[in-house]
Amino acid sequence: MSVPTATPVSFSGRAERALGDERMRAAIARGTGLMLERRHEAISALANADELRDAASDIRAEALRRLPELLEQWSDNLTAHGGQVHWAGDADEATAIIAEIVNRRGGKVIAKGKSMISEEIHLNAVLEQAGAEVTETDLGEFIQQLAGEPPSHIVAPAMHKDRFEVADLLSADRGAPVSPEIEAEAAYARRRLRQAFLDAGVGITGVNFAVASTGSICLVENEGNGRMCSSLPPTHIALMGLERIVADFGDLDVMLNLLARSATGQALTVYTNIITGPRRTGEIDGPEELHVVVLDGGRSAALGTEFSPALHCIRCGACLNVCPVYRQVGGHAYESVYSGPIGAVLTPLLKPEDPAARELSEASSLCGACTEICPVRIPLHDLLLQLRQRDARGDASRLRRVGFWLWSQAWSRRWIFRAMVLAARAGLPVLRRIRRLPNVGWLGAWHRGRELP
């Protein structure tokens, strides 16, 4: 029996561990492959995909340029419709605001929809510590909650698990076998979660877009759980990153046209919820109170810098699906809420003090597939390169810096280069004959899995 070991501190260590998990890798290859195929069909079906992507890119850039003004307009409009807006500078402020609302509203039972921001601020842990009972109601998130793991994909949280692993988790929850058929698994989850909606005093969801002109929030989903969480419990708390604003419904239309197509290959998700305030007099559905918590969490520091385009992201997950590194190692190896290329760019921006986050810019061969697929045209691999350039000046890379300096001195002189060419031609045949090179340096790293050239 294998003893569980501590999570390796480096990306390369975690990646190597992930590479040993054949079952996970097969599930990721299958899942990402399917999403890519569907995305390709859905985008190809558009006559004007390129123009739409250009428009979406412009809309995101313009929204960030006008961010303070649009957020204020949105907040004023939502407040006028009875919603309550809370501004949180960081994770601690956000969780404190939410805990206070939960506490005041006596909502110890919480039904929660999918929200990456809630993962970012570790909301469940804080609420559970305060004595609340949180049920994830998105099927993938529910599976991950049962497994005690964070999501491994921003759109499909449990993509890395096959249906047999899911059946085991659901059976353990039920205390009786759940058949490893997708229908049986969904049926069990449906029954189980239905009760969570009915019992909940507070519903918590994410936000895909906030519409400034009307004060609305837009929430897209496929399972109806988001609609349940936002309409059934007496209190609805929605979490959003401060960059998720669009000016009006015209802009929202462009974003929605691309989001589901890029993510799951749907023209639109099954549910598109537009929420503009809590229940009004005479309405039969909806919460008594609507709170929207807007998180900065390091985002505003990236505004106006060369990394600003990373905030254009609409969380479709297409760059994860197409990334050949993500395909091999899955999401958990990144050890960040956001994985794949966008995670490798966002994480060091949101956690500038974390040295482990900086390492993620190396988790790319700079192949450019992410940049090519991004619906809002974020130049992801260029941003990864810029992160490398920024970090190359730091103290952590002193040895490498010296190495590249020496290299540049040598290779900017033709005679040294020629001497090295001759040395390589003479030395390689000798090195090739050595069966086991010591696992040291770049030569050793190459030779671990490959013969020398």
Partner 1 sequence: MRVQFFASCLVELLRPDVATAAQRALRAAGHEPEALVGATCCGQPAYNAGYRAEAQRVARRTLRALGDDDRPCVVASGSCATMMSHHWPELFEGTPEEIAARRAAGRTEELTAFMTTAGSDTAPDGGAGHDDQTGGPETSRAGGPAAVIVHDSCHALRELGAGATVRRALADAGHPTRSAEGSERCCGFGGSFSVKLPAVSVAMADEKLDSFVATGCEQVTSCDLSCLLHLQGRARRRGLGLRFDHVATLLGRET
Beta bridge partners of 275: 217
Q: Which stretch binds partner 1 (CB under 8 A): 81-89, 126-134, 265-273, 410-418?
A: 410-418
Closest approach of partner 1 to the CB of residue 449, in Å: 4
224 forms part of the interface with partner 1 (CB under 8 A): no
Joined together, the tokens standing for residue 58 give 């412009």
Q: Which is nearer to partner 1, 181 or 405 (CB)?
A: 405
Closest approach of partner 1 to the CB of residue 103, in Å: 45
356 forms part of the interface with partner 1 (CB under 8 A): no
Q: Which residues contact 19 (CB under 8 A, 6 or more apart)?
A: 25, 328, 329
Alpha-carbon Rg for the chain, nearest whole angstrom, is 24
Closest approach of partner 1 to the CB of residue 101, in Å: 43
Q: Which is nearer to partner 1, 51 or 405 (CB)?
A: 405
CA 267 to chain centre: 21
* Ranges within 254-283 binding partner 1 (CB under 8 A): none
50 forms part of the interface with partner 1 (CB under 8 A): no
DSSP characters for 322-380? H-HHHHHHTTGGG-SSS-HHHHHHHHHHH-TT-HHHHGGGGS-----HHHHH-TT---H
Of 16, 41, 50, 354, the residue at the interface with partner 1 (CB under 8 A) is: 16
Of 58, 248, 306, 362, the residue at the interface with partner 1 (CB under 8 A) is: 362
Closest approach of partner 1 to the CB of residue 236, in Å: 42
72 forms part of the interface with partner 1 (CB under 8 A): no
User: Which among 289, 294, 232 is positioned nearest to 83, based on CA atoms?
Assistant: 289
Q: How far apart are CA 159 and CA 155, in angstroms?
A: 9
Q: Please report, to the nearest 10 degrees, the dihedral formed by the alpha carbons of residues 431, 434, 439, 441 taken in order.
A: -10
DSSP characters for 230-242? HHSSSEEEEEEET
Residue 293-332 contact track with partner 1, rule CB under 8 A, x = bound: -------------------------------xx-xxx---
Of 417, 419, 431, 434, the residue at the interface with partner 1 (CB under 8 A) is: 417
Q: Which is nearer to partner 1, 93 or 391 (CB)?
A: 391
The secondary element (H helix, E strand) that includes residue 273 is: strand 271-275
> What pairing do the DSSP bridges indicate for beta strands 271-275 and 216-221?
antiparallel
Q: Which stretch binds partner 1 (CB under 8 A): 46-54, 193-201, 294-302, 414-422?
A: 414-422
Closest approach of partner 1 to the CB of residue 109, in Å: 43
Closest approach of partner 1 to the CB of residue 325, in Å: 6
147 forms part of the interface with partner 1 (CB under 8 A): no
Q: Which stretch binds partner 1 (CB under 8 A): 104-112, 143-151, 288-296, 367-375?
A: 367-375
355 forms part of the interface with partner 1 (CB under 8 A): no
Closest approach of partner 1 to the CB of residue 425, in Å: 8
* Four-residue CA torsion sign, 207, 211, 214, 219: negative
DSSP assignment letter at 275 = E
Q: How far apart are CA 345 and CA 302, in angstroms?
A: 11
CA 408 to chain centre: 38
Residue type, 30: R
Of 34, 274, 420, 437, the residue at the interface with partner 1 (CB under 8 A) is: 420
What does the binding site for partner 1 look like in residue numbers (CB under 8 A)? 11-12, 15-16, 19, 324-325, 327-329, 362-369, 371-372, 385, 387-392, 400-401, 404-405, 407-409, 411-414, 417, 420-421, 424-425, 428, 442, 445-446, 448-453
